[in-house]
Amino acid sequence: MAPKPDRFFNRELSWLAFNRRVLEEAQDASLPLLERLKFLAITGSNLDEFFMIRVGGLQQLRAQGWNGTDASGLNVQEQLAEIGQAVRAMMADQYACLLNDLEPKLAEQGIRRVDRRGLTPEQDAYLESVFEHEIFPIITPMAVDLEEPFPLLSGLGLNLCVRLKAVRGAEMPRFAVIPLPKGIARFVTVPTVAGFHYLPIEDLVTAFLDRVFPGEPILESVPFRLTRNADLSVAEDAAGDLLAQMKEVLTERKRSPCLRLEVGGKPSDVLLGFLRSALDVSEEESFSVPGPLDLAAFFRLAWMTGFDQLKVEDWPPQPSPALPPQESVFEVLSRRNVLLVHPYDSFDPVLRLIEEAVNDPNVLAIKQILYRTSENSPVVAALARAADRGKHVTVVVELKARFDEARNIGWATALEHAGVQIIYGLKGLKTHAKILIVVRREPDGIRRYVHFGTGNYNEKTARLYSDISFLTAEEDYGADASSFFNTITGYSQPVRYRKLEAAPIGLRARLLDLVQNEIERRKQGQPARILAKLNSLGDPDLIQKLYEASKAGVEIALNVRGICCLRPGVPGLSENITVFSILDRFLEHSRLFYFHNGGDELVFISSADWMPRNLDRRVELLVPVEDPDSRARLVAILETSLQDNVKARRLLPDGAYERLAPPAKKKAVRSQEVFYRRACEAAQAAKNVGGPVFEPHLPAGAQT
Q: What is the DSSP string of 394-440?
A: EEEE-TTSTT-HHHHHHHHHHHHHTT-EEE---TTSEE---EEEEEE
Question: Residue 404 has what pLDDT?
Answer: 62
Q: If you average pLDDT over each of 229-233, 234-238, 300-304, which comes out highest?
A: 300-304
Three-state DSSP class for residue 250: helix
Average of per-residue pLDDT across 572-595: 97
Question: Residue 275 has what pLDDT?
Answer: 94
Q: Is the pLDDT of residue 698 over 80?
A: no
Q: Is the pLDDT of residue 485 over 70?
A: yes
Question: Residue 495 has what pLDDT?
Answer: 74
Three-state DSSP class for residue 387: helix
**Domain 11-310 falls in which CATH fold?**
polyphosphate kinase like (3.30.1840)
Q: Is the pLDDT of residue 589 over 60?
A: yes
Average of per-residue pLDDT across 79-95: 96
Report the percent of the chain where pLDDT is more than 70.
Answer: 91
Question: Residue 169 has what pLDDT?
Answer: 56
As a whole number of angstroms, the distance between CA 43 and CA 24 comes to 10
Question: Residue 695 has what pLDDT?
Answer: 52
As a whole number of angstroms, the distance between CA 440 and CA 606 comes to 26
As a whole number of angstroms, the distance between CA 533 and CA 605 comes to 9
Q: Is the pLDDT of residue 240 over 60?
A: no
CATH number, domain 329-496: 3.30.870.10
Question: Residue 244 has what pLDDT?
Answer: 60
Q: Is the pLDDT of residue 229 over 90?
A: no
| 98 confidence band (pLDDT: 50, 70, 90) | very high
Average of per-residue pLDDT across 341-358: 97
User: In angstroms, how far is CA 245 from the centroid of its own chain?
Assistant: 25
Q: Is the pLDDT of residue 87 over 90?
A: yes
Taking each helix axis from N to C terminus, what angle separates 378-388 and 348-359, rounded to the nearest 10 degrees? 10
Question: Residue 392 has what pLDDT?
Answer: 96
Q: Where in the chain is the domain with CATH 3.30.1840.10?
A: 11-310
pLDDT tens-digit series, residues 326-335: 899 999 999 9
Average of per-residue pLDDT across 420-431: 84
Average of per-residue pLDDT across 241-261: 67
| 149 confidence band (pLDDT: 50, 70, 90) | confident
Average of per-residue pLDDT across 235-255: 54
Q: Where in the chain is the domain with CATH 3.30.870.10?
A: 329-496, 502-689
Average of per-residue pLDDT across 544-567: 98
DSSP state letter for 54:
I
Question: Residue 397 has what pLDDT?
Answer: 84
Q: How many CB atoms lie within 10 A of CB 677?
A: 13
Average of per-residue pLDDT across 403-421: 79
Strand 392-397 vs strand 363-370: parallel, antiparallel, or unpaired? parallel
Active-site residue (options: 133, 342, 417, 432):
432
Q: Is the pLDDT of residue 619 over 90?
A: yes
As a whole number of angstroms, the distance between CA 63 and CA 115 comes to 44
Which of 325, 320, 317, 352 has the alpha carbon at shortest distance from 463?
317
| 401 confidence band (pLDDT: 50, 70, 90) | low
pLDDT tens-digit series, residues 202-221: 999 999 999 999 988 999 99
Q: Is the pLDDT of residue 223 over 70?
A: yes
Per the model's pLDDT, the better-predicted residue between 240 and 519 turns out to be 519
Report the percent of the chain where pLDDT is more than 90.
Answer: 75
Three-state DSSP class for residue 282: coil
Q: Is the pLDDT of residue 250 over 60?
A: no
432 is catalytic: yes
Can you list the positions of beta strands (E) in 562-695? 577-582, 587-588, 591-595, 602-606, 618-624, 648-651, 657-659
Q: Is the pLDDT of residue 489 over 90?
A: no
161, 219 contact by CB (below 8 A) = no
Average of per-residue pLDDT across 577-584: 98
Question: Residue 704 has what pLDDT?
Answer: 39
Question: Residue 236 has what pLDDT?
Answer: 47
Q: Is the pLDDT of residue 257 over 90?
A: no
Asked which of 85-89, 642-646, 682-686 is least confident by mean pLDDT, the reply is: 682-686
Contacts of residue 532, Cβ cutoff 8 Å, sequence gap at least 6: 557, 558, 559, 560, 591, 592, 593, 594, 610, 638
| 493 confidence band (pLDDT: 50, 70, 90) | low
Rg (CA), the chain: 28
DSSP state letter for 100:
I
Q: In the Cβ-directed half-sphere of 76, how many Cα atoms lie within 13 Å?
A: 15
| 702 confidence band (pLDDT: 50, 70, 90) | very low
Average of per-residue pLDDT across 430-437: 94
Question: Residue 239 has what pLDDT?
Answer: 41
Per the model's pLDDT, the better-predicted residue between 70 and 468 turns out to be 468
Q: If you average pLDDT over each of 140-149, 350-359, 416-425, which comes out highest?
A: 350-359
Q: Does domain 502-689 have CATH number 3.40.50.1820?
A: no
Buried/exposed code over 10-42 (b: 16+ C-beta within 10 A; e: otherwise): bbbbbbbbbbebbbbbbbeeebebbbbbbbbbb
pLDDT tens-digit series, residues 648-661: 999 999 999 999 99
Which pTM does this prediction carry? 0.92
Question: Residue 666 has what pLDDT?
Answer: 86
Question: Residue 253 has what pLDDT?
Answer: 56
Work out the mean pLDDT of the chain and round it to a whole number: 91
Question: Residue 555 has what pLDDT?
Answer: 98
